[in-house]
């Protein structure tokens, strides 16, 4: 499927072809263990978000580190994860296209499948897709807990929708999707605390209404790397969807964290290709290797700044303590992990300076 | 190679699965004809930039519309274009890695291959790569004409480098790469005129120095969609590298153009998946389908604004004249064509409302 990888197993890390997405496997393992340990004993389930990595190998490592399944945003991602043997997938998104719904329902023959809805159109679509297929699909009503993207307000319309789901053959009303994406990137712990307090209050209003209607809310799922300790402590959630924790990025590093801290396990390796213009060095990686929606990448362990970027190039100020020359390697912390990963076809896993793993980003793409 | 395409030939355009990169084939043909006609009779060669589309099918259309070959930025792109039968490829970039140089030289057995240098390290690398291979590679010295990225200043060091190239078996000193990328996006014609006047003056200084040294400058190549009329009129250039003209984007549309105007042949089709939050509609395309390095996309033929974006979603204000509902299609003009195309695996070509072509973006990726 994927083009030629930028490395071979056993190769020194310095020989990886660039640009390349390189995972420090010790830090990656530590990040997975840190989250597993933070959640252990809480009674909450861990369902890491596969949208961050789109990679079956990482999904399998997350399952081995205590996950009960994965989430994803696209049916095409769910297909890749089910094909890789992940037994339980939640699509944390609304699906409208009948062809996509048919593909989602087909996956329910091979795995436990959940999906979100926030209106009657989605439920009608699911009802038609599941009719006569002899499978069941878990359906979660998405509520807006402050993100302002998808999701109904907690209220009578939400309860009616849950009741319709519960009454539809082949559909199971499984609970609530209650993710507050905006809260993840609030920089101060007290800002995140306030945002998740509001989110948890909205969840409680929703579950109270559902309880009154006799609709059991088995699952309340949400949370991310920036806030999961707060959802965990709130008592309102049953499941955590952290994604970025496994790899991390420069944007999350701008948060002030209390509690467990995750390491930068993911770097983009680049090579200096030109120093002809005085005072600068040009790298062979630009917008096609590094997403900039959440800010530019950050040079790693080198005293320099990025002074410009274009499609295939990043311009660095020459460091004061050394002169970069063509062929030198520079490592960059991605600005935002998910869309940066989505630009690449391979993760190159490195341990003790040697390439140990090549993981295809099998679900890469805008997603159908 | 590529995952399943988002459409089938013969399908109505309204049935294309989303998100999808859709080309209006009539407008695409018209854009190619417009540039061909603008250049015809000028004596300049047309070498469109393949980095904009990474697609052999588009490259073949450009060859049929008067191109003498293509340019690209990566050896992996050159490999795709040579495999597709394009007979003449210029890599408008510096290559350092000996493995990449070996692959580039191998392509010279099957096509005319050119590459840029801006320092002795590149020439030494090429010399080693070409030794004993029985092929020749065209080498252009890149000069900095105002872009401030790669490229030497016109001067004695440049002349010495050209002389070394000319004396190296297997290498041909072919001329100058003189691209001013920054000039393309200056909004006013008079700003672009001033920038390209400076660029052309730098080219003349360089060619005069090379002439004095007896080094014939067969090719001076550069220019882009924003400025090519100026390079053409300057008399300093022999070859034009326009790329965006074939498809266009919202950023180029912010230029005030004199002379030929190119149409928005490329749109991203998206579907409304949620309208649960009052006053807004959520699309199924975000940062993984639409690059934002040069600004957000622009809604096409609908009275709305983008009020938010995230990895897989774009939030629109509900239009005043109608209410979008789940399942409705919305089309977006990409903010920046090259990195948006690089997110997708297929172009879907539409004519008269029907899918006529499916073109794989075969060189998609950060590029090795």
pLDDT in tens, B241-285: 999 999 999 999 999 988 889 999 999 999 999 999 999 999 999
B365 contacts A288? CB cut-off 8 A: yes
Classify B102 as helix, strand or coil. helix
Question: Hey, what domains does chain A have and what are their CATH numbers?
Answer: 13-21+262-360 (2.40.37.20), 26-252 (3.20.20.10)
**Residue among B22, B311, B325, B334 with most chain A CBs within 10 A, to mutate:** B311
At residue B229, does pLDDT exceed 90? Answer: yes
**How many angstroms separate the CA atoms of B183 and B195, rounded?**
6
The closest of A362, A353, A363, A360 to A25, measured between CA atoms, is: A353
Q: Give pLDDT tens digits for B46-59.
A: 999 999 999 999 99
Q: Give pLDDT tens digits for B182-195.
A: 999 999 999 999 99
Q: What interhelical angle do A120-130 and A156-167 show, nearest 10?
A: 10
pLDDT bin (cut points 50, 70, 90) of residue A280 is very high
Distance from the B332 Cα atom to the nearest Cα atom in chain A, whole angstroms: 15
Distance from the B230 Cα atom to the nearest Cα atom in chain A, whole angstroms: 23
Give B56-108 as a DSSP string: HHHHHHHHHTT-S-EEESSHHHHHHHHHTT--EEEEEEE---HHHHHHHHHHT
**How many angstroms separate the CA atoms of A255 and A189, rounded?**
8
A338/B contact by beta carbon, under 8 A: yes
A18 contacts B365? CB cut-off 8 A: no
B365 contacts A315? CB cut-off 8 A: no
- Distances B152 to A231, A317, B156, B212 between C-alpha atoms, Å: 56, 17, 10, 18
pLDDT bin (cut points 50, 70, 90) of residue A259 is confident
**How many angstroms separate the CA atoms of A130 and A108, rounded?**
10
Size of interface A-B (CB pairs under 8 A): 192
pLDDT of residue B172: 98
**How many angstroms separate the CA atoms of A258 and A221, rounded?**
22
**How many angstroms separate the CA atoms of B256 and B268, rounded?**
24
B318/A contact by beta carbon, under 8 A: no
Q: Which two tokens stand for residue B356?
A: 């006529």
B152 contacts A308? CB cut-off 8 A: no
Q: What is the DSSP letter of A245?
A: G
pLDDT of residue B1: 44
**Which residues, numbered 132 to 191 in chain A, qualify as contacts with chain B under a Cβ-Cβ cut-off of 8 Å?**
142, 144, 148-152, 181
The closest of B78, B112, B74 to B93, measured between CA atoms, is: B74
B311 contacts A338? CB cut-off 8 A: yes
At residue A207, does pLDDT exceed 80? Answer: yes
**How many angstroms separate the CA atoms of B142 and B153, rounded?**
9
pLDDT of residue A312: 98
Q: Give pLDDT tens digits for B75-113.
A: 999 999 999 999 999 999 999 999 999 999 999 999 999
**How many angstroms separate the CA atoms of A236 and A202, rounded?**
9
Of B3, B121, B282, the CB nearest to A149: B282
Q: What are phi and psi of B24, to 5 degrees?
A: -80, 110
B338/A contact by beta carbon, under 8 A: yes
pLDDT of residue B3: 83
Of A94, A274, A310, the CB nearest to B181: A310
Q: Give pLDDT tens digits for B304-353.
A: 999 999 999 999 999 999 999 999 999 999 999 999 999 999 999 999 99
Distance from the A287 Cα atom to the nearest Cα atom in chain B, whole angstroms: 7
- Distances A220 to A92, A159, A239, B217 between C-alpha atoms, Å: 12, 15, 6, 69
Q: What interhelical angle do B75-83 and B56-64 show, nearest 10?
A: 70
Beta bridge pairs of residue A357: A349
Of B277, B291, B367, the CB nearest to A148: B277
Which residues from B are below 8 Å from A326, CB to CB? 94, 96, 119, 121-122
Beta bridge pairs of residue B69: none
pLDDT of residue B173: 98
At residue B294, does pLDDT exceed 90? Answer: yes
- Residue pair A206/A176 in contact (Cβ under 8 Å)? The answer is yes
pLDDT of residue B258: 85
Which residues from A are below 8 Å from B366, CB to CB? 19, 285, 288-289, 343-344
Q: What are phi and psi of B347, to 5 degrees?
A: -95, 135
pLDDT of residue A1: 44
Q: Give pLDDT tens digits for B164-180.
A: 999 999 999 999 999 99
Q: What share of chain A is helix, strand, coil (3-state, %, to 5)?
A: 30, 25, 45
pLDDT of residue B2: 60
Q: What is the DSSP letter of B351?
A: E
Neighbours of B306 (CB within 10 A): 17
Distance from the A313 Cα atom to the nearest Cα atom in chain B, whole angstroms: 8
- Residue pair B337/B245 in contact (Cβ under 8 Å)? The answer is no
The closest of B177, B1, B314, B184 to A149, measured between CA atoms, is: B314
A150 contacts B274? CB cut-off 8 A: yes
pLDDT of residue B259: 83
**How many angstroms separate the CA atoms of A75 and A84, rounded?**
14
First to last CA, chain B: 17
Distance from the A41 Cα atom to the nearest Cα atom in chain B, whole angstroms: 32
pLDDT of residue A2: 60
């Amino acid at each position: 499927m994927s083009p030629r990888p930028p490395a071979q197993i056993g190769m020194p890390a310095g020989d990886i072809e660039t640009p390349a997405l390189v995972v420090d496997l010790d830090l990656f393992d530590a990040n997975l263990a840190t989250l597993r340990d933070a959640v252990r004993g809480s009674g909450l389930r861990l369902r890491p978000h596969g949208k961050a990595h789109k990679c079956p190998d990482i999904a399998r490592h997350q399952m081995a580190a205590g996950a009960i399944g994965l989430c994803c945003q696209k049916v095409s991602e769910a297909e890749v994860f089910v094909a890789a043997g992940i037994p339980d997938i939640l699509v944390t998104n609304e699906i409208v296209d009948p062809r996509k719904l048919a593909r989602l329902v087909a996956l329910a023959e091979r795995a436990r499948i959940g999906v979100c809805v926030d209106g009657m159109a989605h439920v009608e679509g699911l009802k038609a897709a599941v009719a006569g297929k002899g499978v069941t699909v878990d359906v979660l009503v998405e509520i807006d807990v402050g993100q302002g993207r998808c999701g109904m307000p907690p209220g009578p319309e939400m309860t009616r929708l849950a009741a319709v789901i519960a009454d539809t053959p082949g559909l199971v009303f499984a609970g609530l999707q209650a993710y507050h994406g905006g809260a993840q990137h609030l920089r101060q712990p007290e800002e995140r605390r306030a945002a998740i307090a509001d989110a948890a209050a909205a969840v409680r209003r929703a579950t109270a209404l559902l309880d009154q209607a006799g609709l059991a809310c088995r699952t309340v799922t949400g949370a991310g790397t920036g806030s999961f300790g707060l959802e965990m402590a709130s008592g309102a959630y049953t499941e955590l969807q952290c994604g970025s924790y496994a790899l991390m990025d420069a944007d999350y590093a701008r948060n002030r964290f209390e509690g467990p801290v995750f390491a930068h396990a993911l770097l983009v390796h680049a090579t200096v290709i030109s120093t002809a213009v005085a005072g600068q060095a040009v790298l062979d990686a630009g917008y096609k290797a590094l997403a900039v929606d959440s800010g530019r990448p950050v040079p790693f362990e080198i005293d320099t700044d990025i002074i410009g970027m274009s499609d295939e190039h990043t311009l660095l100020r020459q460091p004061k303590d050394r002169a970069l020359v063509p062929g030198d390697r520079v490592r960059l912390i991605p600005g935002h992990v998910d869309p940066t990963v989505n630009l690449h076809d391979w993760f190159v896993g490195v341990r003790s300076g040697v390439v140990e793993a090549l993981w295809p980003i099998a679900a890469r793409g805008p997603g159908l």
